[in-house]
């Protein structure tokens, strides 16, 4: 634990994609540091597992599909109305896809852009309302080095993450009058369930080659959770409109 147990005392945060991986680790870290956390994920069962990890009380869980921007906005606004405004939101929900452009269909694009882009817009739409996020709050969106580096089979996923990074820069401008910070985390390869699905689909040799591109090897969920907590904290009070790279040296090569 790199934050004190009182670092987020009395604060309320929303975490999407909280059923597992990065979202789950971030939620647990915030709760351990004194925050109340609202969880959103698709699986009720896995959300319950995350909730069981949270220290303290006052947390809430909400099973939902974030593929529709308007439905997502209404959901986020409803949670804030019921449980209190948020000091910050971390949108980590998303879907990966490895498929060459020649084989990519509309349904593949819909899947990748659903939670990652439309869901992100829904979160942003809700956050723009004064009854959802407090002035001086923070929005953090999950992105990927795929938005910056081209690798075969990643065209749809890369496009979705590039959309998030671009959206962040505009939102930072739109929300500056309320001192709401908006940033994304551009992550390298992180050992999550989604990452394991990727490694199983491409074979061990390609995985070794991909890991070798990371100077420090693949990251762990906590590596991104700590970055998210930093951006949600007052320590990042002068950072907005940034695409913060956390990639073990991947993009430095």
Residue 143 lies in a domain: yes
Residue 235 lies in a domain: yes
Task: Please provide the DSSP assignment of the chain as one string.
Answer: --S-TTTTTT-EEEEESTTSHHHHHHHHHHHHTT-EEEEEES-HHHHHHHHHH--SS--EEEE-----HHHHHHHHHHHHHHH--EEEEEE---------GGG--HHHHHHHHIIIIIHHHHHHHHHTSTTTEEEEEEEEEEEEGGGTS--TT-HHHHHHHHHHHHHHHHHHHHTGGGT-EEEEEEE--B-SHHHHHHHHHH-HHHHHHHHHTSTT-SB-HHHHHHHHHHHHSGGGTT--S-EEEESTTGGG-
Catalytic residue annotation? 157
Residue 66 lies in a domain: yes
Domain with 141, as residue range(s), is: 12-190+221-245
Asked whether the predicted pLDDT for residue 183 surpasses 90, the reply is yes
Residue 105 lies in a domain: yes
Residue 253 lies in a domain: no
Residue 98 lies in a domain: yes
Give the pLDDT band of residue 200 (cuts 50, 70, 90): low
The residue-averaged pLDDT of 156-176 equals 96
Residue 3 lies in a domain: no
> What percent of the chain is predicted at pLDDT more than 90?
80
| pTM assigned to the model | 0.94
Question: Any idea what the CATH number is for the domain that residue 163 is in?
Answer: 3.40.50.720
Please tell me the predicted confidence (pLDDT) of residue 198. 64
Question: Total domain count for the chain?
Answer: 1
Asked whether the predicted pLDDT for residue 157 surpasses 80, the reply is yes
Q: Mean pLDDT over all residues of the chain?
A: 93
């Amino acid at each position: 634990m790199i934050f004190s147990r009182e670092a987020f005392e009395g604060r309320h945060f929303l975490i999407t994609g909280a059923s597992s991986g990065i979202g789950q680790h971030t939620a647990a870290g915030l709760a351990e540091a004194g925050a109340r956390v609202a969880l959103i994920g698709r699986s009720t069962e896995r959300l319950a597992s995350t909730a069981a990890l949270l220290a303290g009380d006052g947390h809430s869980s909400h099973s939902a599909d974030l593929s529709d921007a308007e439905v997502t906005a209404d959901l986020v606004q409803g949670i804030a109305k019921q449980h209190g405004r948020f000091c910050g939101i971390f949108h980590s929900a998303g879907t990966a896809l490895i498929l060459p452009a020649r084989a990519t269909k509309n349904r593949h694009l819909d899947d990748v852009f659903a939670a990652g882009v439309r869901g992100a817009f829904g979160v942003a739409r809700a956050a723009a309302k004064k009854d959802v996020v407090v002035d001086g709050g923070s929005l953090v969106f999950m992105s990927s080095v795929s938005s910056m580096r081209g690798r075969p089979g990643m065209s749809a996923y890369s496009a979705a993450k590039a959309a998030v990074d671009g959206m962040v820069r505009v939102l930072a401008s739109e929300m500056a009058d309320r001192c709401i910070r908006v940033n994304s985390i551009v992550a390298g390869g992180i050992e999550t369930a989604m990452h394991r699905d990727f490694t199983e689909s491409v074979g061990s040799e390609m995985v070794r080659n991909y890991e070798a591109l990371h100077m420090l090897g693949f990251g762990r969920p906590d590596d991104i959770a700590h970055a998210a907590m930093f951006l949600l904290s007052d320590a990042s009070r002068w950072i907005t409109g940034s695409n913060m790279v956390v990639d073990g040296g991947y993009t430095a090569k």
